[in-house]
Amino acid sequence: MKKEQKLYFSHGDGKIKRDKIKKVGKNVIFEKGVLIFHPENIEIGNNVYIGHYTILHSYYKSLMKIGNNVWIGPHSFFHSAGGLIIKDNVGIGPKVIIITSQHNLSFLDIPIIEAPVEFAPVEIEENSDIGAGSIILPGVKIGKGVVIGAGAVVTKNIPPFEIWAGVPAKKIKERK
């Protein structure tokens, strides 16, 4: 018997339609090439800059919330299937990736692409800075005033006012 082929559907072209975004504050700048998927589940505060060719990929069941005074560098990718909250005064460098879902790897008898998807929210507290090229994985909470070094891979929660870097990210020191 031939295995049934799954059909995959497009999420659309991602072109920005401000009137379709759930909430857009004042002084929000979308640079050229920014794409937004599931805008009905995205809230953006005031004074937000979203750099060139960034992708905000929300999800039909979850919310992506970006606070006030947030700067998002170019070529970043945020996928908020599990929910994403970025609080006020956060800087996010270019090419940062934030993922909130992953395949369950405990199923050995099926291809990973067919394994169930697990969802876990990501939260970035206020006054934090995420270095260029960093990757933040599902279920991570980054505390207030945290600095993440460029290129870090964040796999676990980070307490407030610490500096983390590396792959996987480890505590470098506390901010004083």
Q: Which two tokens stand for residue 103?
A: 């395949």
**Rounded Cα distance, 18 and 39, in Å:** 8
Token digits of residue 69:
């005074």
Has 11 been annotated as catalytic?
A: no
Catalytic residue among 11, 38, 75, 103: 103
Q: Which of 78, 67, 64, 55 is nearest to 21 (CA)?
A: 64
Residue 82 DSSP label: T
Residue 79 structure tokens: 């996928």
Q: What are the residues whose beta carbons fall under 8 Å from the beta carbon of 44, sequence distance 6 or more? A: 21, 23, 24, 25, 28, 66
CA torsion, points 76, 150, 71, 86, in degrees to nearest 10?
80
Residues annotated as catalytic are: 103
